[in-house]
Structure 1
Amino acid sequence: LRLARPAEALPKGVVPVASIACAARFLSENPGRALLTTGSKELAPYTRVADFAERFFVRVLPLPGAITKCIDAGFSPSHVIGMQGPFTRELNEAMLRQVGAQWLVTKDSGTVGGTAEKLAAARDAGARCIVVTRPAEGGGALSLREVEDALLREFAR
């Protein structure tokens, strides 16, 4: 069973984009430092931005593979933050201020992924948010109620 989490409305001023590539393209056209919180799997689009090594700071899981991906992509160790969440609003804000970020890039990961904390931290730090929106749910994704009903039919015998 695949659960489709409901999308949350984004606050005014947030820049919604369809993909990491779109976020990178947006950043290439808009100056300022950015804290990237979208993980280590899709770094290539960011590295196509002319001055990425100076402008971008990457926050990834503190795993050797994730750190290596960042370094191999061309990010300086001083621009790689290896930390395990969840992160509070205050910690996100402190990181934004520490790196001097005008932008925070995140995926729309909902409540579980700390999206609200990131958006609030960016607001409080005076940074703007770029949010990679969720792809449209494909066939087979169910609402929470539909998943509950299916589980009850299967296991409540």
Structure 2
Amino acid sequence: MTALQTEYSLWTRDREDEPLPLLRGLGIGFVPYSPLGHGFLTGQLRSPADIADDDWPKTNPRFIGNAFVRNLRIVDEVRVVGDEIGATSAQVTLAWLPGPGLRHRPHPRHPPSRPCRGEHGRRRPVDAPVRPRTRCRLELLITGSRQTAER
């Protein structure tokens, strides 16, 4: 095995306990799937109505009812960080990723109905600098803040 791909993002970090340490120890790469939180962390989804009825997030507890509203606080803070460093929310979220042990590029999940775009509709590269202090701020924002039901 050369790499494992599974969901991992600023918002979904349960892979840090397992399997990331094992993969690092074995020299196996890790490919983050859906590093933009199924599009949520881009800030483009502001209500459950923004999700297509046939899209998987429509039934996920993170995107339903009060959890959706509470999770918008995370999105709004990511946007504030982006504004401070001159980046989009998507750029901030992706720039956070290249941490220890991530040897492969992320695999964003963006169906054609929700492309990852910057201002003026242009595709934007991941070029936002995320300094250690900003990384810590983002990690503290997420720790204990994400609202979801049991999986």
Q: Into which bin does the TM-score normalised by the smaller protein fall? A: under 0.3
TM-score, normalising length from structure 2?
0.28
